[in-house]
Amino acid sequence: MTEDTRAGRRQVRRAPETRCRTGASVPPAVPGAWPQGAVAEVEVEVSAVRGGTAVATVTGELDVHTADTLRARLTGLHEAGFRRIVVDFAGVPFCDAAGLGALVSAHNHASAAGGEIVLAGVRPAQLRLLRITGLHRLFVVHPDVADAVAGATSA
């Protein structure tokens, strides 16, 4: 390249854009921005108790806006005396790195006191994410809640 061709180039870079599957362009999101009127929600409810085991049914997306709620609820269940917590993931359509971080944090809290957190009903895409990150070695994963409560072998 000569100096003449370099001078004609545009020096300013544009921000990357995101394309959805239909091909329509969407402007890049501002980090930390949350759409006006949207509420970050995830529900973590105790759906069953059997001895020292609690089944925590999680409903909603796990991301940076909801991870703290998941972490707090799972840690609270362990502090309430449940040694084993089965996390039912059947109602979780999406889980990102923040959600995985919340699970790991709750696991570390429970395992430090001799407890455990196991996962049940994990969707195939999330199971793939657990395998890619190596977290399938940290968490016992069961196909459904009944197997998890019974203590069946991991998937």
Q: If you write DSSP's letter for every residue of the chain in order, what string do you get?
A: --HHHHHTS--PPPPP-EE-TT--EEPPPPTT---TT----EEEEEEEEETTEEEEEEEE-BSTTTHHHHHHHHHHHHHTT-SEEEEEEEE-S-B-HHHHHHHHHHHHHHHHTT-EEEEES--HHHHHHHHHHTGGGTSEEESSHHHHHHTPPP-
Model pTM greater than 0.85?
Answer: no
Residue 151, pLDDT score = 80
CATH superfamily assigned to domain 42-150: STAS domain (3.30.750.24)
Per-residue pLDDT reduced to its tens digit, 20-78: 344 433 344 434 444 444 455 899 999 999 989 999 999 999 999 999 999 999 999 99
pLDDT in tens, 83-127: 999 999 999 999 999 999 999 999 999 999 999 999 999 999 999
